[in-house]
Amino acid sequence: MKIPLAYNLRNLAVRKATTLMTALGIALTVAVLLTTMAMVEGLNSLLRSSGNPLHVLVMRKGSSDELSSNLNRQVFQDLKFKSGIARGKGGDPLASLEMVIVVNLPSVDNPDGSNVTFRGVSPAGLEMRDHIRLASGRWFQPGRAELVVGKYIASRFPDARLGKKIRLARADWEVVGVMDAANSAANSEVFADVNQLSADNNRTEVLSSALIRAADEAAAPALIRDLEADRRLNVTALTEKEYYELQMRSGDLFRYLGLFVSLIMAVGSAFAAMNTMYAAVARRTREIGALRVLGFSRASILTSFLIESLLLASLGGLLGVLLVLPLNGFSTGISTITFSEVAFHFRVTPPVMAAGILFALVMGTMGGLLPAGNAARKQILTALRDI
């Protein structure tokens, strides 16, 4: 014979204050975990959308990022005609010599300034990035000091909004457009004409990197091997996706720290649930004895108290999800290994919410199993004599 679920619901309702305090403790633990998971999911979504598996990034050998790389025009001319490179609409190789610098601009979160990536691109570079669309304004004109900013840059940096001017090395650059790069890292960059940007920085011959598109997925690995084996070039090559994964590794610290804090809080919440259930067992000793007299087995009592603990944990899990839901879609920035800011969205997805509820149930099981076992082991006469 099983104890009705209504019995457990009534007990939780009677102990409103204790139930609420324990549920809030579990909710805060779940909220910390879900915040971390939402951040990780946002970063993973950014990584999935950033980079094209057909794109190969070429830098000077030994460079870990575009900012520290120096690639001269002669090397670019030598590599752009390698076999395996796709051709553009005009029949030319899809290869773009690019320049990357970092500029400090005040942001809405940091008035003292955050680093923003400025990228000089060629017409071929824009053609290769066919996922980018103009959200407002127009594209920059070659040979002019004009900028097109990513939509996150426009929203987070007041000085980089449409119509504003930014002072770089020797000129005032006007923001003439805002681009929408879906969910990719290009939303956190500023594009300009590569020749104009390099001239403004006195780097007309030595730029940063080259982006080339392989003819197909099978050609990409062969192209990378060919580039790195050519000693005349002295370059390192990797897919664009691999490059962005390396750049985002600074986010690993936040992931591990969040999980570590969540585990510590989980232990505390499990003990809180355990204390609550032990107190419930102590207060209801005679009630447990009455249940045994009525014919309920030890297994039924153990199951009932464990279900009660799980109900308490479920309530905490739901509260934790409700606490974190407002974060869904919230935009913030994280520094890459070049210390430039990349914006991403927190993503509280259904799998993330389900993981939070499951985490709460695990805490409820840990906290309720021992008290439930203690209740089930009580002898009938001892329980009935207990005041």
Q: Is residue 238, in this structure, part of any structural domain at all?
A: no
295 and 367 in a single domain? The answer is yes
Instruction: Give the integer Cα–Cα distance in Å for 9 and 312.
Output: 9
Domain boundary among 183, 203, 233: 233
191 and 293 in a single domain? The answer is no
pLDDT number for residue 383: 47
357 and 219 in a single domain? The answer is no
State pLDDT tens for residues 223-256.
999 999 999 999 999 999 888 877 766 556 666 7
Domain boundary among 233, 266, 286: 233
pLDDT number for residue 40: 80
11 and 101 in a single domain? The answer is no
pLDDT band at 20 (very low <50, low <70, confident <90, very high): confident
337-343-348 Cα angle (round to 5): 115
Q: Is residue 242, in this structure, part of any structural domain at all?
A: no
pLDDT at 6 > cutoff 60: yes
pLDDT number for residue 85: 94
16 and 76 in a single domain? The answer is no
Q: Is residue 206, in this structure, part of any structural domain at all?
A: yes
List residues bridging with 117 in a β-sheet. Answer: 102, 189
197 and 270 in a single domain? The answer is no
129-156 mean pLDDT: 94
Q: Is residue 244, in this structure, part of any structural domain at all?
A: no
122 and 184 in a single domain? The answer is yes
Closest Cα partner for 305 from 324, 290, 320, 284?
Answer: 284
Number of domains the chain is built from: 2
Q: Which domain holds residue 330?
A: 5-48+250-385
265 and 205 in a single domain? The answer is no
20 and 66 in a single domain? The answer is no
Q: Is residue 241, in this structure, part of any structural domain at all?
A: no
pLDDT number for residue 148: 97
164-175 mean pLDDT: 92
State pLDDT tens for residues 301-346.
677 777 877 888 898 899 999 999 999 988 777 766 656 777 778 8
42 and 71 in a single domain? The answer is no
pLDDT band at 29 (very low <50, low <70, confident <90, very high): confident
pLDDT number for residue 283: 62
Average pLDDT, the chain: 83
Cβ atoms 100, 209 nearer than 8 A: yes
Cβ atoms 164, 190 nearer than 8 A: no
Q: Is residue 243, in this structure, part of any structural domain at all?
A: no
pLDDT band at 281 (very low <50, low <70, confident <90, very high): low
DSSP secondary structure string for all residues of 7-75? HHHHHHHHTHHHHHHHHHHHHHHHHHHHHHHHHHHHHHHHHHHSS-TTEEEEEETT-SSTTT--EEHHH
Closest Cα partner for 214 from 51, 99, 48?
Answer: 51
pLDDT at 176 > cutoff 70: yes
106-120 mean pLDDT: 87
pLDDT number for residue 15: 75
Q: Is residue 282, in this structure, part of any structural domain at all?
A: yes
Domain boundary among 180, 206, 233: 233
Q: Is residue 103, in this structure, part of any structural domain at all?
A: yes
pLDDT number for residue 225: 94
79 and 226 in a single domain? The answer is yes
93 and 24 in a single domain? The answer is no
pLDDT number for residue 279: 65
